[in-house]
Structure formats: C-alpha cells, structure tokens
Amino acid sequence: KQEVTQIPAALSVPEGENLVLNCSFTDSAIYNLQWFRQDPGKGLTSLLLIQSSQREQTSGRLNASLDKSSGRSTLYIAASQPGDSATYLCAVRPGGATNKLIFGTGTLLAVQP
Amino acid sequence: EAGVAQSPRYKIIEKRQSVAFWCNPISGHATLYWYQQILGQGPKLLIQFQNNGVVDDSQLPKDRFSAERLKGVDSTLKIQPAKLEDSAVYLCASSLGLAQPQHFGDGTRLSIL
C-alpha cells in the first residue's frame, strides 16, 4: 500500500530565505508526482508535476526533484516571500488505470516579513 | 475558463442528519473526483467518475455515503446518516481525462455537532 510522508509538518522562515520541503513515498512504482499549494479555506493549486521518467521540473522560483528509486521528492523555494505562506502537499499517482492521487499530510509554511 | 464550482461552502448539521454536496466540473471535463480532507491530513479519494460511470469507489463508506453523476456533468455526494468523524472538507476535482491534471474546487467544509 502506497504511503506518502512529508517533513517537516510545519516550517517558519524569514523572508528571503531559500528552503526545501521533503516528500517520501513507499512504493517506487508511480506514474507521476505532483506538488500542490493550499491556501486557508481554498482548494488545491497545482504547482509542479514530474513524470516518472523525469528528474526535475522548474517554474519560476520553484524547483521540484524526483528520485523514484529512493522514493523521494523535494520542493525547493528560492528567495521566499510572505505570499508563499500556505500548506504544500505532495501527491503521487500510482501506476494503473485510474488517475487516483495519494497525498501526504502537507507542510505548513510561514514566511515572516 | 470557469473553475470547479462547489456548493455550499459551509454546512453545519447534527449527527445522524443527512447532507448533500454539489459539484459542477470544468466544462468538457470527463473525469470527476470527490476527496475527503480531514483537518491536518491530506485529501483522500472517495470516488472517481469517468463520464457517468464509477471508476474507483474503493474508499467510499458505502453504508452511509453515496454519489451520483447524472448525465456525466454535475455530481452530488450525500451522507446519510452523518457521524462525528465525517467532519471534514469535501473537495471536488475534475480533469479532461483519466491521465490529465486535476483541477480542484474550493471545497465544502462540513461540521458535525
């Protein structure tokens, strides 16, 4: 059974700092891995999607890496800003016919001005 | 394009009462998902539809939860009777197809007294 774990559960950093969020999964047979952002009272916004054949994806100040063999992904945020404050969730899509996503419990990020 | 619409945004009921949530996916999206997100946890897939057929309902508590997607567009999720542990945010998502990225609505926050 696939399990997804995220550490740390919460993180507080001063504005301008670079930071790394971690995600690990127990079964390396995945189709892709996705990082989402969730603001309070809102749904999920997709940030980056990495296919199983890829090693990393970049979008602006965000960079996500994937090491499928070791069951790990990291989300790197450069030059953090107060507007980056949110909960960050990673989710894996197992192989198979469905588009089911299995989520981690998230990292609550607070960027202090 | 308009996003995934959900209603109501908030609902408070007493245990053993029934409740229904509504979701209107993005126009043209064939696949629709209902997730349950308990406070402090990541979303968990309850049911997935492809058009008006069920693809995956393995984690839906079928003794009290039901869902339908008439005509392959809008969907409703019902809980009857509600239990205290059903307190959660219920998220609806849709995608063009089974292999496409999911787009999430803002969710319905359910509180059971």
CB contact under 8 A, A44 and B109: no
CB contact under 8 A, B40 and A46: no
Which pLDDT score, from 0 to 100, does residue B8 have? Answer: 97
CB contact under 8 A, B102 and A99: yes
Q: Which residues of B touch A34 (CB under 8 A)?
A: 101
> Which regions of chain B are under pLDDT 70?
1
Its sign, for the CA torsion A49, A51, A52, A56, is negative
CB contact under 8 A, B109 and A41: yes
pLDDT per residue over B8-26, tens digit each? 999 999 999 999 999 999 9
d(C-alpha B81, C-alpha B63), whole Å: 9
What is the pLDDT confidence band of residue A1, given thresholds at 50, 70 and 90?
Answer: confident
Of B50, B71, B68, whose CA–CA distance to B60 is shortest?
B68
Q: Chain B residues with CB-CB distance to A under 8 A?
A: 4, 31, 33, 40-45, 48, 55-56, 91, 93, 95, 98-107, 109
| Residue A103 at interface with chain B, using a CB cutoff of 8 Å | yes
d(C-alpha A91, C-alpha A10), whole Å: 17
CB-CB: which of A42, A46, A105 is closest to B106?
A42
Chain B closest-CA separation from residue A95 CA (Å): 11
Which pLDDT score, from 0 to 100, does residue A61 have? Answer: 97
d(C-alpha B68, C-alpha B72), whole Å: 9
d(C-alpha A34, C-alpha A36), whole Å: 7
Beta-carbon contacts of residue B85 (< 8 Å; ≥ 6 apart) = none
Tokens of B107: 């969710």
CB-CB: which of A49, A91, A98 is closest to B98?
A98
- Specify the DSSP class assigned to residue A97: S
A and B: number of Cβ contacts within 8 A: 54
Which pLDDT score, from 0 to 100, does residue A20 have? Answer: 96
Beta-carbon contacts of residue B44 (< 8 Å; ≥ 6 apart) = A103, B35, B36, B37, B38, B59
Q: What is the mean pLDDT of residues A60-79?
A: 96
Which pLDDT score, from 0 to 100, does residue A11 have? Answer: 95
d(C-alpha A55, C-alpha B27), whole Å: 33
